[in-house]
Chain A
Amino acid sequence: MKFFPLIWRNLLRKKARAGFTFLSILVAFLLFGLLGAIQTGFSQGVDLAGVDRLVLTHKVSLIQLLPISYLPRIQAVPNVTDVAHFTWFGGIYQDPRNFFAQMPVDPERFLRLYPEYVLPEEQKKAWLEDRTGAIAGRKLAERFGWKIGDRIPIQATIWRKADGLNTWEFNLVGIFDPAVEGADTTGFYFRYDYFDEARMFAKGFVGWYVIRIDDPARAPQIAERIDAQFANSPYETKTATEKAFLQGFANQVGNIGAIVTAVLAAVFFTILLVAANTMAQSVRERVSELAVLKTVGFTDGLVLRLILAESLLLAGVAGVLGLALAWGFIQRGDPTGGFLPNFYLPPRYLLLGTVLVALLGLASGLLPGLRAMRLRIADALRRA
């Protein structure tokens, strides 16, 4: 601690240079945080996917419908312990820009399959008692200022009602919370029985099934067995783990993970060069000062530690501030208005960011530090 003033003063020796390097590192880690959140958002909860859940879709495409009659047949397959179904509704609430997912489900099956959504018991009861009842995730309810008891009108874009009307109205009977951080609470779910009875066409069909199995290690074999049930039928199926399903969904936009990694690698390599150059210049400029320090008794090891402390301080303050700014921005929520419901920064990114800050600090100070350490006093004083 007693060396801190010395380190600090050296760091601020050339304020403009230190300032620009500081800003470069800050922006790099701000970018790191934001790209981390975007990657998480694009993965659509891949990381949170249940290892014991499979997703069954039409073999041709997710938008092809499947008969509801498949449900008992899937349920009957060995190792299958529960099944729920979903259908994409794709409606509009007030304005097309107000995008969020809406799906008709069987309430009990849905809540059993997704324990990461917590709905209070009395709200669950209310949902079961009200055929036009619907539940919304906490983030969605907060986004539109909804409260329980509100009437939510949604304009259909696919599913016109049998009476020819386009507007579906739901009673908001519940708001669910996440049981784990990152669980998506931007969804809107209503009852399938009401939906199926009131829609104009495709009665008796659903979008896809989510299946719980008792042995995740045997997921490929179970999926194969399920698909075999429906082979050579008009509605052949394709079953995959929920993780693979969500990953495939995310990959429709491109391999976001690889893109983010490539961008970050380029950014960090550049920042390493910038920071290392700053430190190298700073050490070059004070060869005689380092010689003086050694003359008064500073050991080679202490000189190395002082240089490393300097580069760590620069990278540490700028990097941590960059991460903090990213965190603050991300806390404000999805900037795309619903396109990235999982826009948040998992703690592992913060940990990785902190490790990168430390590595950047050490790497940028190491070579100049070693040079300072090896400096021969008599030579350095002669050159001064």
Chain B
Amino acid sequence: MNEDQLVVKLRDLHKVFHRGSERIDVLQGVNLEVPRGDFLALMGPSGSGKTTLLNLVGGLDQPTQGSVEVAGERIDQLSRGKLARWRARNIGFVFQLYNLLPTLTAEANVGLPLLLTPLSRAERKRHVATALELVGLADRAKHFPRQLSGGQEQRVGIARAIVADPTLLLCDEPTGDLDRKSGDEILKLLQALNQRQGKTILLVTHDPHAAAHASRILYLNKGVLSPEPIP
């Protein structure tokens, strides 16, 4: 595959945590390539290292060993400040618990990443309206998170993730806190973003039903990545 087509390239990635005197090898030599426009689901049981891997790809954490290249940049070599600016340009995060700011309205939450851009207020407003429309919540713009259902909150979370048009969308158990119906709506929305908008998506889940919405699935178990589920 052409190197330019790759959005994510992980090489021999290791991550070790220490809990007191105990050493926990969360990731053990992970290699991964995600091409542009891919919708990849990473599955695995709790504690398998899925979220750790997602955090490393998103530049939220640093590997113990190995290289992390995302959107053409070796992010494991960037300083905290550069990494923050890089994230603002390239990464959109969708969290399991939505993580909306309770004091802000839906539109203010969605507009947060745009505060870091040189866009004017009117331009920011336009981008926010487009993002909310894309997730079907244009009529909830002035609502606070407490006035929204779980599914609606997650839609706002997705709108926030895509509003700055990032290179890569990272979703950490986005349906983990939702009922089946709301979960399906979110997964269809992610699918639509991938198929119609061409968004590259990396989805972490332990739910096979959710993973089935992705175009391919990889399995992580005890820090090792595999194309087949490990029994």
Bound pair (A, B): yes
Q: B-contacting residues of A (Cβ < 8 Å)?
A: 2-3, 5-6, 9-10, 12-13, 288-289, 291-301, 376-378, 381, 384
Instruction: Find A298's partner among B58, B116, B160 (CB 8 Å cutoff).
Output: B116
11 additional contacts (CB under 8 A) given A298-B88, A378-B55: A3-B115, A6-B104, A12-B103, A292-B95, A292-B99, A295-B93, A296-B113, A297-B88, A300-B84, A378-B61, A381-B60
Q: Are A377 and B60 in contact (CB under 8 A)?
A: yes
Q: Are A295 and B115 in contact (CB under 8 A)?
A: no
Question: Does B6 have its Cβ within 8 Å of any Cβ on chain A?
Answer: no
A13 to B95, CA, bound (A): 23
Per DSSP, are chain B's interface residues mostly helix, strand or loop, or mixed? helix
Chain A residues, CB < 8 A from B121: 2
- Complex contact A297–B85 (CB within 8 A): yes
In the complex with contacts A295-B60, A295-B87, A299-B85, A381-B112 CB distance below 8 A:
no
A297 touches which of B55, B84, B101 (Cβ 8 Å): B84
12 A/B residue pairs, CB under 8 Å, sorted by A: A2-B121, A296-B88, A296-B116, A296-B160, A298-B116, A299-B84, A299-B85, A300-B84, A377-B55, A377-B61, A378-B60, A384-B99
Which residues, 79 to 121 on B, are CB-close (under 8 Å) to A?
80-81, 84-85, 87-89, 93, 95, 97, 99, 101-104, 108, 112-113, 115-116, 121
Q: Mark B163-203, 1 if CB is under 8 A from A, else 0.
A: 00000000000000000000000000000000000000000
B60 touches A9 (CB 8 A): no
Query: For the complex, what is the distance from the CA of A304 to the CA of B85, rounded to whole Å?
Result: 16
A299-B81 contact in complex given A3-B115, A289-B101, A384-B97, C-beta closer than 8 Å: yes
Q: Measured between alpha carbons, how far is A99 from B103 in the docked complex, in Å?
A: 57
Residues facing A in B37-58 (CB within 8 A) are 52, 55, 58
Contact (Cβ within 8 A) A9 B112: no
A6: B residues at CB distance < 8 A? 104, 108, 112, 115
- Cα A6 to Cα B99 in complex, Å, equals 16
Bound CA span A6–B55, Å? 26
Question: For residue B89, which residues in chain A have a CB less than 8 angstroms away from its CB?
Answer: 297
In contact, B101 and A292 (Cβ under 8 angstroms) = yes
- Whether B87 pairs with A9 at a CB distance below 8 angstroms is no
Residues of A within 8 A of B99 (CB): 288-289, 291-292, 381, 384
Q: What residues of chain B lie closer than 8 Å to A299, measured between beta carbons?
A: 80-81, 84-85
Interface residues on B, range: 20 to 34
Return chain A residues, CB-CB under 8 Å to B116. Answer: 296-298
Known A-B contacts A296-B88, A296-B113, A300-B81; the reply to A5 vs B58 at CB < 8 A is no
Tell me if B103 and A295 are in contact (CB < 8 A): no
List the B residue with the shortest CB-CB distance to A5: B108
Which residue of A is nearest B160, CB measured? A296
A358→B85 CA distance, assembly (Å)? 30
Nearest A residue to B103 via CB reads A9
Give A281 to B113 CA distance when docked, in angstroms.
25
Q: How far is the CB of A320 from chain B (nearest CB, A)?
A: 24
Residues of B8-58 whose CB lies within 8 A of A: 52, 55, 58
- Most B CB contacts (10 A, CB to CB) among A5, A9, A12, A299 go to A299
Complex CA gap A294/B101 in Å reads 13
Task: Tell me the minimal C-beta distance from B84 to chain A in angstroms.
Answer: 4
Nearest residue in B to A2 (C-beta to C-beta)?
A: B115
Of chain A, the residue at the smallest CB distance from B52 is A378
Q: When A and B form their complex, which 9 residue pairs have the shortest distance between CB atoms, in order from nearest?
A: A297-B88, A9-B103, A378-B61, A299-B84, A377-B60, A296-B113, A292-B99, A297-B87, A378-B55
Q: How far is the CA of A248 from the CA of B116 in the complex (A)?
A: 61
Cα distance A293–B108 in the bound complex, in angstroms: 13
From B84, which residue of chain A is reached at the shortest CB distance?
A: A299
CB distance from A230 to the nearest CB of B (A): 77
Q: What A residues does B103 contact at CB under 8 A?
A: 9-10, 12-13
Q: How far is the CA of A376 from the CA of B17 in the complex (A)?
A: 14
Given contacts A2-B121, A384-B97, contact A298 B84 (CB under 8 A): yes
Find out whether the CB atom of A296 lies under 8 angstroms from the CB atom of B80: no
* A18 to B81 Cα, complex, angstroms: 31
**A6-B104, A10-B103 known; A301-B81 Cβ under 8 A:** yes
CB distance from A236 to the nearest CB of B (A): 75
Check A297–B113 contact: CB distance below 8 A: yes
Shortest beta-carbon distance from B111 to chain A in Å: 9
Using CB atoms, name the residue of chain B closest to A296. B113
Residues from chain A with a CB closer than 8 A to the CB of B52 are 378
Contacts of B60 in A (CB 8 A): 295, 377-378, 381
The smallest beta-carbon distance between A349 and chain B, in angstroms, is 37
Chain A residues in 8 Å Cβ range of B61: 376-378
- Contact call A9/B84, Cβ cutoff below 8 A: no
- In angstroms, Cα B108 to Cα A137, docked, is 60
A3 and B121 alpha carbons, distance in the complex (Å) = 11
Contacts of B85 in A (CB 8 A): 297, 299
Q: Are B93 and A296 in contact, with the CB atoms below 8 A?
A: yes
Residue of B nearest to A13 (CB): B103
Minimum CB–CB distance from B152 to chain A (whole Å) comes to 18
The answer for the CA separation of A10 and B103 in the assembled complex, in Å, is 7
* Residue picked from B55, B60, B85, B113, most chain A C-beta under 10 Å: B60
B48 CB, nearest partner CB in chain A, Å: 15
- Complex-state Cα separation, A378 to B52, whole angstroms: 8
The docked-state distance in angstroms from the alpha carbon of A94 to that of B199 is 90
Bound-complex Cα distance A9 to B104 (A):
7
* Shortest Cβ gap from A18 to chain B (Å): 12
Known: A2-B121, A377-B60, A378-B55. A296 touches B112 (CB 8 A): yes
CA distance A3 to B101 in the complex (A): 14
In Å, the complex CA distance between A381 and B108 comes to: 21
